[in-house]
């Protein structure tokens, strides 16, 4: 008789949004799977009626962090050698020398890189990570949990979190099949994959080719093309609320059309407040000519800073901030967690906006799911406090090279172009942009997008039957 017990390993909050707050769990139950979320987040899944086992006080081996950093740098260097493309240098985070401790760690990392800067060296580093993680309390606790629970498979929702290594190793040592989900469209070129699992679940054929290119030790048979669950809610019409209800709740003007400005984190777009102000100025000029426009500002969910306060106050008559419903459980990035309510909020924000303006985010796919265009900010700020930052760095990233054509988004190449682009985004010029964005979406994420959970469960079923 087939074992139907599946462990969903949640090493961080990203997996909550994609696997606990979508239809993934419900569909698995309908397929008669016994699902347990192996939960390393502060969120109490039991409040949603989801069975969970908490991972308590998880700690990776202290050497793992050093080896992981070295592994990333070596992978990026090998990618440069293989492709003759320097873009991979832009994915590096510089080593820190701010104090004695960080200087000591960085010196060790540089030595590890120097001694292992090859495919053979990478294999040695992966083996070193596994060897050290098998010594941790997390590994032994995980081993005991799996021995007791005897799941048919362990599926990890994120490929890049160190705290997932020990539980995955414990499963492999017990002969339990393991898989991980590559959770974002831009992850693979960055050298962020730390997990070594039996199977890899990817968004698309495009991502499969990336995985095989960057990790030649992985075989095609190990890769399952499923799409991602993150776009599924956009196709659940029952989650939509009426314009009257949405506008009343968020104190919006029913006589105005709203443009969504979607913020980035401060590392990706430090000049976001200036871009938002430029958009507000353009809208004021258009309104003087008879338009009736305003802005919904949705900040990046992990950005709790006050950097937008001045702009929001100055343009309060036309900018309404609708903050994501994420919970800040602690100060670290990984302790900022999504909520089920925010999925509904994001979806309705998109539905009740005309189009989106931002700097190069995957919101282009969220909006095209509603047949709406995206405008990408594409200019630098001369008076910026961040002189070393440039939009050129962002749009040179590998994942933007997958665009089917330049006319996949509206490009805003200067503040003076904003008025013209806003007008184009509201007329028939948008039809071509939306059509090309849809092609991009289909290239990057297996379609139909609303069937991702079903494809994931089918792949899990196939693995469990082997």
DSSP 27-75: HHHHTT-EEEEEE-SS--GGGGT--EEEPPS----HHHHHHHHHHHHHH
Euclidean distance between CA atoms 168 and 239, whole angstroms: 35
Q: Report yes or no: 197 and 215 within 8 Å, Cβ to Cβ.
A: no
pLDDT at 332 over 70: no
3 state DSSP class of 97: coil
- What pLDDT, in 10s, does the model give residues 188-199? 999 999 999 999
> Is the pLDDT score of 298 beyond 60?
yes
Helix axes 205-214, 429-444, angle to 10 degrees: 50
Residue 401, judged by CB atoms within 10 A of its CB (0-12, 13-18, 19+), counts as exposed
Angstrom CA distances, 65 to 41, 117, 128, 163, stand at 20, 17, 11, 10
Q: What pLDDT shows up at residue 3?
A: 82
- Burial label for 155, CB within 10 Å (0-12, 13-18, 19+), is buried
Per-residue pLDDT tens for 352-361? Answer: 999 999 999 9
Distance (Å, rounded) from C-alpha 201 to C-alpha 183?
Answer: 9
What mean pLDDT do residues 174-197 have? 96
Going by DSSP bridges, is the β-strand pair 293-298/319-321 parallel, antiparallel, or unpaired?
parallel
Of residues 206 and 383, more confidently modeled: 206
- Dihedral, CA atoms, 204, 207, 208, 210, nearest 10 degrees? 160
How far apart are alpha carbons 417 and 412 in whole angstroms?
Answer: 6
Q: Is the pLDDT of residue 1 over 70?
A: no
Cis peptide before 448 (omega within 30 of 0): yes
Alpha carbon distances (Å) from 233 to 192, 239, 241, 266, 311? 27, 8, 13, 27, 32
Give the chain's radius of gyration (CA, Å): 23
Least Cα distance to 454 among 254, 120, 228, 252 occurs for 228
For the chain, list the domains and their CATH numbers.
Answer: 5-60+136-228+449-465 (3.40.50.2000), 62-127 (no CATH), 233-444 (3.40.50.2000)
pTM of the model: 0.95
Mark residue 317 as left, alpha or beta (left: phi above 0; alpha: psi -120 to 50; beta: remaining).
alpha
pLDDT digits 0-9 by tens, 420-465: 999 999 999 999 999 999 999 999 999 999 999 999 999 999 999 8
Residue written as tokens 């087939």?
2
From the list 378, 404, 408, the residue with the least C-alpha distance to 393 is 378
Phi, psi of 9 (to 5 degrees): -80, 120
Structure confidence at residue 44 as a pLDDT band (50, 70, 90): very high
Task: Assess whether pLDDT exceeds 80 at residue 212.
Answer: yes
SS3 label, residue 203: coil
Confidence of residue 74 (pLDDT cuts 50, 70, 90): very high
Q: How many other C-beta atoms lie within 10 A of the C-beta of residue 332? A: 8
Nearest CA to 444 out of 217, 210, 223 is that of 210
Please list the residues that pair with 298 across neighbouring strands. Answer: 262
Q: What share of the chain has pLDDT > 70, as a percent?
A: 98
Q: Which DSSP category does 134 fall into?
A: T
Predicted confidence band at 141 (pLDDT cuts at 50, 70, 90)?
A: very high
**Do the Cβ atoms of 379 and 391 come closer than 8 Å?**
yes
Determine whether 382 is exposed, middle or buried from the number of CB atoms within 10 Å of its CB (0-12, 13-18, 19+). Answer: exposed
Q: Are 422 and 283 in contact (CB under 8 A)?
A: yes
Q: What pLDDT shows up at residue 383?
A: 76
Instruction: State yes or no: pLDDT of 81 exceeds 60.
Output: yes
Q: Is the dihedral of CA 201, 202, 204, 210 positive or negative?
A: negative
Residue 349: which H helix or E strand, with range? helix 340-351
Q: What is the pLDDT of residue 157?
A: 97
Contacts of 308 (CB under 8 A, 6+ apart): 263, 272, 273, 276, 297, 299, 321
pLDDT of 336: 77
Is residue 333 pLDDT above 60, yes or no? no
334 confidence band (pLDDT: 50, 70, 90): low
pLDDT in tens, 370-415: 999 999 999 999 877 888 899 999 999 999 999 999 999 999 999 9
Using the CB atoms, write b or e for 184-220: b if 16+ within 10 Å. Answer: bbbbbbbbbbbbbbbbbbbbbebbbebbbebbeebee
Mean pLDDT of 249-257: 97
What is the distance of C-alpha 136 from the center of its chain? Answer: 29
Weakest-pLDDT range from 26-40, 254-268, 318-332, 370-384: 318-332
Structure token digits, residue 125: 């580093």
How distant, in Å, are the alpha carbons of 107, 270, 359, 377 from that of 362? 36, 18, 10, 13
Give me the mean pLDDT over the 255-269 stretch.
Answer: 96
């Amino acid at each position: 008789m087939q074992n139907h017990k599946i462990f969903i390993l949640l090493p961080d909050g990203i997996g909550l949004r994609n696997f606990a707050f979508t239809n993934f769990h419900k569909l698995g139950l309908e397929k008669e799977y016994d699902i347990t979320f192996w939960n390393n987040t502060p969120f109490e899944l039991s409040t949603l009626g989801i069975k969970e086992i908490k991972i308590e006080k998880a700690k990776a081996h202290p050497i793992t962090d050093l080896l992981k950093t070295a592994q990333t740098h070596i992978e990026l260097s090998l990618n440069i050698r293989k492709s003759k493309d320097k873009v991979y240098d832009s994915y590096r985070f510089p080593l820190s020398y701010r104090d004695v401790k960080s200087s000591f760690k960085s010196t060790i990392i540089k030595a590890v890189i120097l001694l292992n800067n090859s495919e053979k060296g990478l294999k040695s580093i992966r083996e070193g990570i596994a060897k050290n993680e098998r010594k941790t309390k997390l590994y032994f606790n995980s081993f005991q949990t799996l021995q007791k629970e005897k799941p048919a498979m362990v599926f990890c929702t994120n490929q890049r979190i160190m705290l997932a290594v020990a539980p995955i190793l414990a499963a492999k040592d017990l002969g339990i099949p393991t898989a991980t989900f590559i959770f974002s469209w831009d992850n693979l070129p960055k050298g962020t994959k730390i997990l070594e699992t039996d199977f890899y679940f990817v968004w698309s054929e495009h991502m499969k080719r990336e995985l095989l290119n960057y990790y030649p030790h992985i075989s095609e048979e190990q890769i399952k093309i499923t799409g991602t669950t993150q776009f599924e809610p956009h196709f659940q019409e029952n989650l939509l609320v009426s314009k009257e209800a949405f506008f009343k709740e968020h104190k919006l003007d029913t006589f105005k059309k709203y443009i969504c400005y979607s913020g980035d984190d401060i590392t990706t777009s430090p000049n976001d407040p200036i871009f938002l102000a430029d958009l507000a100025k353009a809208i004021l000029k258009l309104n003087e000519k008879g338009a009736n426009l305003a802005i919904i500002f949705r900040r990046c969910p992990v950005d709790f800073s006050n950097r937008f306060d001045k702009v929001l106050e100055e343009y309060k008559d036309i900018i309404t901030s609708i903050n994501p419903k994420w919970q800040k459980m602690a100060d670290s990035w990984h302790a900022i967690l999504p909520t089920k309510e925010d999925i509904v909020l994001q979806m309705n924000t998109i539905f009740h906006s005309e189009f989106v303006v931002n700097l190069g985010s995957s919101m282009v796919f969220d909006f095209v799911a509603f047949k709406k265009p995206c405008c990408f900010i594409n200019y630098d700020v001369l008076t910026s406090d961040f002189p070393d930052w440039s939009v050129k760095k962002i749009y040179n990233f590998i994942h933007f090279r997958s665009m089917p054509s330049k006319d996949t988004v509206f490009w805003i190449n200067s503040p003076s172009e904003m008025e013209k682009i806003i007008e184009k985004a509201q007329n028939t010029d948008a039809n071509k942009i939306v059509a090309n964005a849809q092609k991009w979406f289909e290239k990057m994420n297996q379609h139909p997008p609303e069937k991702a959970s079903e494809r994931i469960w089918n792949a899990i079923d196939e693995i469990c039957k082997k």
